[in-house]
Chain A
Amino acid sequence: MDSYTIIGAASIIGACLCMGIGSIGSALGEGHAAATALQAMAQQPDEASRIRSTMFVALAMIETTALYALLIAFLALYANPFWNYAIAQ
């Protein structure tokens, strides 16, 4: 196996694992936040608009952890420094 075969395979597998494992936590967190917000909206329908806007902000902040994983996956796939080094050899 050449060095760039290993590097290519490792970056693709690494990117897939990074997305898969990295999004578990944020998916669970977002689900919990949405469920709690829905419960609060059902109990207090008058406050539904305020709860909804706060929920969107919270969801976007929880989503950040998954986005970090996405960035690392993009880096491994499209801007991999080791891959560029192996190609230049």
Chain B
Amino acid sequence: MALQIDFSKWLDLPFADKVIGLESYDAIKVISYGDWYINVTIFNSWIVIALITLVSWLATRRLSCEKQVSKLQTALEALVLWLQREANETSGSRNNQYLGMALGLFSFILISNLLTFIPWFRPPTASISTTMALAAMVFIAIPYFSIRNAGIKAYLRKFIEPIPLMLPMNIFSEFFSIFAMGLRLFGNMLSGVMFASILSAFIPLVAPLTMQTLGLLTGSIQAYIFALLAIVYTSSVKEEIKPEL
């Protein structure tokens, strides 16, 4: 039993002739201690988390509302305000309760997707374990927000609507919408990584660059969609708003 740290395969290009299999993606160990190990996916998500924490700390270190505002603060304010508007418009609530979840999911997925522009970096979102963990968080957030906003009766009534006969269908759709959410992000990122690696095995000069540029676009759109769908699912059960007379 000894702590082993092996960075030799961390930045290994996933070429088409080497490892493309779905299970081998998570099997590359970086830090191992006996039977316990940290694979590339977890290690890279640590890098993403550290990056987000560092940037947020740098931006909020000297907050000011004077005329001289730092560029980083302006950029992050624009991001937060944009997502706040989107979250409040989508959920129909005005108290910013979905902003924390949406911003956390969005920034993590966005940074890990955008880091694919480093050719050897395997984004953590291209592993099904990461995306399913993110989807599972949304799965827990659905009853939490529903019960907090509308009560447990309204939440349970959602399952027998429009008729009680639809109960198994509603439970199935609850599971499969979450499952599809995780699978959508995974499929998009995996296909981007695989496209680039297969193309770089055939035409290594300029061609992978075009696919990677397209990958940046789809990556940011996927981050937006994931956050948006999380808001839509969690805000599906709402308190009945009584019209004010």
Q: Which residues of A contact B (CB under 8 A)?
A: 56-57, 60-61, 63-64, 67-68, 70-71, 74-75, 78-79
Contacts and interface: CB of A to CB of B under 8 A. Distances in A.
B194 interface: yes
A41 to B, nearest CB: 18
Nearest to A75: B22
Contacts, number: 41
A71 B189 CA distance: 11
Contacts of B194: 74
The 7 closest A-B pairs by CB, nearest first: A67-B187, A79-B22, A78-B21, A64-B184, A60-B221, A79-B21, A78-B20
A74 B190 contact: yes
A74 B224 CA distance: 26
Nearest to B186: A71
Interface of B: 20-23, 180, 183-184, 186-188, 190-191, 194, 218, 221-222, 224-225, 228
A60 B218 CA distance: 8
For the residues of A in contact with B, the DSSP-based class is: helix
A70 B186 CA distance: 11
Contact of B225 (A61, A71, A74, A75): A61
A78 B221 CA distance: 28
B225 A57 contact: yes
For the residues of B in contact with A, the DSSP-based class is: helix
A68 B179 CA distance: 12
A78 B191 CA distance: 13
A78 to B, nearest CB: 5
Contacts of A60: 188, 218, 221-222, 225
A67 to B, nearest CB: 4
Contacts of A75: 22
A63 B218 CA distance: 11
Given A60-B222, A78-B22, A68 B183 contact: yes
B21 A70 contact: no
B187 A68 contact: yes
Nearest to B21: A78
A67 B191 contact: yes
11 contacts: A56-B221, A57-B228, A61-B184, A64-B184, A67-B184, A68-B183, A70-B187, A70-B191, A74-B20, A74-B22, A79-B21
A63 B188 CA distance: 9
B222 A71 contact: no
A64 B22 contact: no
Nearest to A69: B187
Nearest to B16: A78
A75 B224 CA distance: 27
Contacts of B20: 74, 78
Nearest to A61: B225
